[in-house]
Amino acid sequence: MTGQSPQVAILLGTYNGAAFLAEQLDSLAAQSYPHWRLWVSDDGSTDDTLKILKDYQAKWGPDKLTFGPGPGQGFVQNFLSLTDNPEIAADYYAWCDQDDIWLPGKLSRAISQLAPGGQEKPALYGGRTILVDRNNKEYGLSPLLNRRPPSFAHSLVQCIGGGNTMVFNRPARELVRVGSGLAPVSHDWWAYQVVSGVGGQVIYDEEPQIRYRQHGRNLYGSNQGWSARLARLRRVVDGTFRQRNGRNLAALSVVADRLTAASRRELEAFSNLRRADRPWQRWRQLKDSGIFRQGRGQQLALKLAALMKQV
């Protein structure tokens, strides 16, 4: 990992991904930055996923593509177990979904923005995506989340971007891997929380570097459009948002001693907001805490959740 060019470990979680996997693997092969190795954790596929991986391993060689069984505990632990795998050592780590398509400059662009910060403190890169349908036909972009800079106060109630866009350095990897065995809502949200929480660098790229495929089997969608907005509103009303925040807070309690003093204060303010009994108390505490979601509609939903004690 020392020497000429930084090495990148691409961490791909698979599960019955045969329909789109080859197209994704081809997009990795087309990267303008060549110094990468692909590690795959398969969570028990019963389709042709393993056959495709074997075929590409035969073509690329085992030093370029390594795959093995996942923990069988869902996609979050599949990615976190890969991140925690002691056999994987690199300068940078890039999560990869089985059904997307990377633009050729994805890795080079991410590394060019991460490299100036070095390896002294945690750094995380992520950003927007191009939305495509199952046939790779483009129909829009993911929401732009840059009205305010990334921060721990923001991370408590919203993730800055999808894990499929994220690339991070070694110190960030050491933080993120703690999540293996915990129960955060998602690996990407967890990464944003812990990196921002310790005062690390979070880079949000407005220029999309992946084609994010939307289809019926996606575990998480694009968060775009009226159907997504209504789904978010339902999650506020039915308590899902509050339950997810509780899971994240439980995971964050394990790393609370690593957070900056400012982050610990924000974490305590958020906990107080969740515990407050009266609506006017929750409204005031939300305002005083500085906790926010990106976008006017998102912030309105947060205020509604606070009033309803569903944060």
CA dihedral 294, 298, 304, 306 (to 10 degrees): -30
Strand partners, 39: 11, 66
Q: Is residue 26 over pLDDT 70?
A: yes
CATH number for 8-213 (one of 3.90.580.10, 3.30.70.2970, 3.90.1150.10, 3.90.550.10): it is 3.90.550.10
The residues, ordered by sequence, that sit 6+ positions from 31 with a Cβ below 8 Å of its Cβ are 102, 104, 105, 106, 107, 108
Lowest-pLDDT choice from 71-80, 99-108, 224-233, 270-279? 224-233
Q: What are phi and psi of 145, to 5 degrees?
A: -110, 60
Average pLDDT over residues 160-167: 97
Average pLDDT over residues 147-152: 97
Half-sphere exposure of 224 (CA within 13 A, CB side): 18
The per-residue pLDDT for range 44-98, each reduced to its tens digit, is: 999 999 999 999 999 999 999 999 999 999 999 999 999 999 999 999 999 999 9
Domain ranges (residues) in the chain: 8-213, 226-307
Strands 92-97 vs 8-14: parallel, antiparallel or unpaired: parallel
- Judge whether 142 and 163 are in contact, CB under 8 Å: no
Average pLDDT over residues 154-179: 97
Residue 120: predicted pLDDT: 97
What confidence tier does 1 reach under pLDDT thresholds 50, 70, 90?
A: very low
This prediction has a pTM of 0.93
Strands 101-102 vs 210-213: parallel, antiparallel or unpaired: antiparallel
Nearest to 98 by CA among 170, 23, 1, 47: 23
What confidence tier does 286 reach under pLDDT thresholds 50, 70, 90?
A: very high
Other CB atoms closer than 10 Å to residue 110's CB: what's the count?
Answer: 24
- Judge whether 39 and 88 are in contact, CB under 8 Å: yes
- Judge whether 197 and 122 are in contact, CB under 8 Å: no
Average pLDDT over residues 38-47: 98
* Summary mean pLDDT of the chain: 94
